[in-house]
Amino acid sequence: MSNEPSKQKTVYSIIDIETTGGHKNGNKITEIAIINFDGEKIIEEWSSLINPERNIPKAITYLTGIDNQMVAKAPKFFEVAKKIVQMTEGNVFVAHNVFFDYNFIKHEFAELGYKYQREKLCTVRLARKSLPGHKSYSLGKICQDLGIEIEARHRALGDAKATVELFKHIQKVSPHQVNEIISDEGKKISLPPKLSRAVYDSIPVTPGVYYFYDESGELLYVGKAKELKKRISSHFRPDMKRKKDIELKNKVAHVDYKEMGSEVAALLFECHEIKKMRPPYNRAMNRTRFPYRLVLQKRQSGEFVINLTKTIDEDTHMTFASRLIAEKARDALYRAVLGFNYGSLNFDQARCNIIDKLGVDHYNSMLEKVFTKNLSESVDYEIELPGRHNMEKCVIQIRKRNPVKIIFQSDEDCESIDLHSDQDMMRILSSCFQKFKIKKLFLTENFQ
């Protein structure tokens, strides 16, 4: 018989909460469920409504079914705080999108003057690594794909039970993945010496724009992220080699962020913020990114030609990131009028023949029409994207190809952000249409 002590099982506290809104600041928990699971069986289960001591928005009631009357006589958070501490003590905190639930609970404890800290595990991340190929990894969609029934969607206990079943499935399919992720968590980052761990832990995993500041409060860098936590962590890797990256990391004393709801909104807002604030470590975006342009000029002989020149004017139309791209655009313009490229054999002679046939005025009119068509898209439209929470939508307004405003709208609130428009913004928007397959919503009247 072995005299070695038996290894204690890891207990996973699988948790789900419902709240009055999508961000811990200004919102409170309305319901919590904790299911303690030892990897084989459930050993404890508990759930409770919580009186948030503030109004529950109608949109949240519509989503969860929890209204003000239901929580009126429920315990307040401080009355269940001890139970939460006891049930999760020494356990791994597990949730679907763990930073949402963890940061809300941690914030509630902070308001009571208590530092709540647990090892974390995210079933979204686990599912992505263990179960590749699914279109969506939201709890509802992934459970539907796997045939896991959710008895009460958007209620804490129903979602927690579904998360337990998802966790079991992941363990069955990829038994080593859970332990690998847990053991890797502490190895992936080396926080800057001046950055508080509490600040880092509070960062969510949602799309957004983030800001690095030094200890004097000076802005160092602005970035965008599909997942804020993951992207910011990449700046703090212990194996970084580039001198500039190491220098930036060592200067970071504070991190701030703004959630944007989608990668598209984050891309546009990042560009806006960099152009407005010119952080010293955003060198790529600070320089002119489209240094070549096409201009329509008239020769002494009277006919129009399309010339390729260099520019430093941010607001110049028909600008390009490289000479090659600009040359291809010029070829396309000439081809639309003449039927052949600028660099074609005997181009000048062929153009002269066409001018003689059509007349200078007619030729100039045709070339000018094709050229200005690329500059004259005057129809105003907007695109609609996901908001920062389920009850919010994001609208981006475009005027004459320029994104001019980001609006976050819900039944309860509206936030509007005016954008600095330039060629970078136009190019980013254009690439987003191709990458994200965005649909335009044309307006019957110009927006204000």
Model pLDDT for residues 166-180, shown as the tens digit of each residue: 999 998 888 777 766
The stretch 46-59 carries a mean pLDDT of 95
Q: Does the pLDDT at position 92 exceed 80? A: yes
pLDDT tens-digit series, residues 230-247: 899 999 988 788 899 999
Confidence of residue 314 (pLDDT cuts 50, 70, 90): very low
Look at residues 300, 299, 320 and name the one whose alpha carbon lies nearest to residue 308: 320
pLDDT, average across residues 201-218: 92
Question: Residue 53's pLDDT band (boundaries 50, 70, 90)?
Answer: very high
Distances (CA, A) of 356 to 279, 298, 353, 360: 55, 17, 5, 7
Overall fold of domain 12-185: Nucleotidyltransferase; domain 5 (3.30.420)
pLDDT level of residue 45 (50, 70, 90 thresholds): very high
Q: Please check the confidence at residue 143 and state whether its pLDDT lies above 90.
A: yes
Find out whether 67 and 56 touch, Cβ atoms under 8 Å. Answer: yes
State the Cα–Cα distance between residues 418 and 269, nearest whole angstrom: 10
SS3 helix, strand, coil % of the chain, rounded to 5?
A: 40, 20, 40
Give the length of the chain: 448
pLDDT at residue 159, as a whole number = 96
Judge whether residue 208 has pLDDT over 90: yes
pTM metric for this prediction:
0.51
- Residue 313: pLDDT band (50, 70, 90) is low
| pLDDT value for 105 | 95
**Protein fold of 197-283:** GIY-YIG endonuclease (3.40.1440)
- Please tell me the predicted confidence (pLDDT) of residue 284: 63
Whether residue 387 contacts residue 394, with contact meaning beta carbons closer than 8 Å, is answered with yes
pLDDT one-digit tens code per residue, 414-430: 999 999 877 778 778 87
Residues ≥6 apart with Cβ < 8 Å to 190 = 236, 237, 238
Task: Indicate the pairing of strand 119-122 with strand 29-37.
Answer: unpaired
Residue ranges of domains in the chain: 12-185, 197-283, 292-367, 381-442
- Alpha helices by DSSP H, listed for 319-359, are 323-338, 347-358
pLDDT at site 264: 93
The pLDDT assigned to 7 comes to: 52
pLDDT at 444: 42
User: Which range is least confidently modeled, 138-142, 200-204, 263-267, 434-438?
Assistant: 434-438
Asked which of 31-35, 412-416, 429-433, 444-448 is least confident by mean pLDDT, the reply is: 444-448
Q: Please tell me the predicted confidence (pLDDT) of residue 6.
A: 46
Q: Which of 129-143, 262-276, 433-447 has the lowest average pLDDT?
A: 433-447
Asked if residue 439 has pLDDT above 90, the reply is no
Least confident of 90-94, 310-314, 385-389, 437-441: 310-314
Beta bridge partners of 198: none
Residue, of 42 and 438, whose pLDDT is higher: 42
Kindly calculate the radius of gyration of the chain based on its CA atoms and give it in whole angstroms. 28
* Helix residue ranges per DSSP H, 48-176: 58-64, 68-71, 77-88, 98-111, 123-130, 139-146, 156-173
User: At 42, which helix (H) or strand (E)?
Assistant: strand 42-49
Which is more confidently placed, 56 or 448? 56
For the cut 60, the answer to whether the pLDDT of residue 437 exceeds it is yes
Beta carbons of 41 and 171 less than 8 angstroms apart: no
- Average pLDDT, rounded, for the chain: 85
Q: What is the pLDDT of residue 336?
A: 82
- pLDDT level of residue 14 (50, 70, 90 thresholds): very high
Amino acid at 405: K
Q: Cα 176 to the chain's mean position, in Å?
A: 30
Integer Cα distance of 80 and 108 in angstroms? 11
Specify the 3-state DSSP secondary structure of 350.
helix
Catalytic residue among 107, 134, 154, 235: 154
Mean predicted confidence (pLDDT) in 251-278: 93
Residues in CB range of 388: below 8 A, 6 or more apart: 22, 23, 206, 259, 260, 261, 394, 408
Q: Per residue in 360-402, pLDDT tens?
A: 888 888 888 888 765 555 568 889 998 988 789 999 999 877 8
Q: Is 154 labeled as catalytic in the residue annotation?
A: yes
**One-letter amino acid identity for 184?**
D
